[in-house]
Amino acid sequence: MVEYLGEQLDIEDVSCVKQYTERKPTAYQHAWEIRDAYAYHEYDDAEWGRKFRTFLHGRAWTHDEGLVALFNQAVGWMRRHRVLLPGVSVLARKVSEVRTAAEKRLHATVSRAAHRADATLPGDLVATLVTPEDARFSELERLRRPPTRTTGTAFARSLERADEIGAFQLGRVRLSQVPPNRLAALARYGLGSKAASLERAEEPKRTAMLTAVMRHLEAKAIDEALDLFQVLMATRLISTAKRATEKERLFTLPQLEKASRMLARGPSPRPHRVLTRRHSGAARVRCC
């Protein structure tokens, strides 16, 4: 291989490769020459470092990605923009710091919006984590349970559930500056957590998760009530009417068949006379 590379580089005496390790700065000098030849940028460069941090913070804020996915995005950006990759541990630590900062920013933004909408709203949301004395689970767990039966009673309860969740008026919380996918991910995390875990969470994370969960449940409860209403209309009203109409049609089929046979055997109708008048006023008879 050394001889092949020597031919490609027009090196007559390839034995000089043994001297490569004798001078330590040689490897660094060659790396610098390659960097300059292909217009690569240092990771510590002020301008490109600022651009990289801007990309990384923006990516962490707008996308719900794990550490591995965000790390791969960072590597891809640096390759596309010809930025020399640092050590793996250095880049991994930077990605972890940025992702943690994005999560804290998300929690603070949502919690602050909830306090601005109503100062008592965070306390009302935390109260849903309490389990009543005569119940086996908290109010939040009760509200996030969808209807399981297709009955009129279940439909009435689904309407009551939607009304209870709508009483929090989460629509007044202004979250237009928060990416919808981050808010949806926060709601999924809260829905997958037990009430005790949410209660132990620190502020502002707890208020942020409860706000996202209730906003999600508000829309979901209405959709589930409408779906249940559609099923009840299809199974209890429309299907019953269709069955009654079909039964009545089948009942009249024999009479319709008898009338059809009588009409088929009967004589053709005779022409009848119609009395008309001429333009002159004289009457005449016309056969139809």
Taking the C-alpha atoms of residue 255 and residue 251, their distance in angstroms, rounded to an integer, is: 8
Main-chain dihedrals φ then ψ at residue 275, nearest 5 degrees: -85, 120
Summarised one tens digit per residue, pLDDT across range 223-247 is 999 998 888 887 876 666 666 677 6
Number of Cβ atoms within 10 Å of the Cβ of 227: 14
* pLDDT confidence bin for 135, thresholds 50/70/90: confident
- Residue 280: predicted pLDDT: 45
Query: Which pairs with CB-CB distance under 8 Å and at least 24 residues apart come from 246-249?
Result: none
Cα–Cα distance between 14 and 12 in angstroms, integer?
6
Indicate the pLDDT class of residue 266, thresholds 50, 70 and 90.
Answer: low
pLDDT of residue 239: 62
Q: Residues 162-177: pLDDT tens digits?
A: 999 999 999 899 999 9
Q: Where are the domains of the chain?
A: 1-39, 119-243
pLDDT score of 270:
55
Chain-centroid distance of CA 138 in Å reads 27
pLDDT digits (tens, 9 = 90+) for 77-92: 999 999 989 999 999 9
Interatomic CA distance for residues 155 and 232, integer angstroms: 9
**Is it the case that residue 287 has pLDDT exceeding 50?**
no
Query: Which amino acid would we find at residue 278?
Result: R
Instruction: Tell whether pTM > 0.75.
Output: no
pLDDT in tens, 25-69: 776 777 778 777 888 898 899 999 999 999 999 999 999 999 999
Nearest to 224 by CA among 158, 176, 145, 144: 158
Question: Helices then strands (H, E): number in the chain?
Answer: 12, 2
Kindly give, in sequence order, each residue whose CB lies less than 8 Å from that of residue 41, ignoring residues fewer than 6 positions away: 48, 81, 82, 83, 84
Cβ–Cβ under 8 Å, residues 99 and 217: no
**Which residues touch 130 (CB under 8 Å, ≥6 apart)?**
138, 139
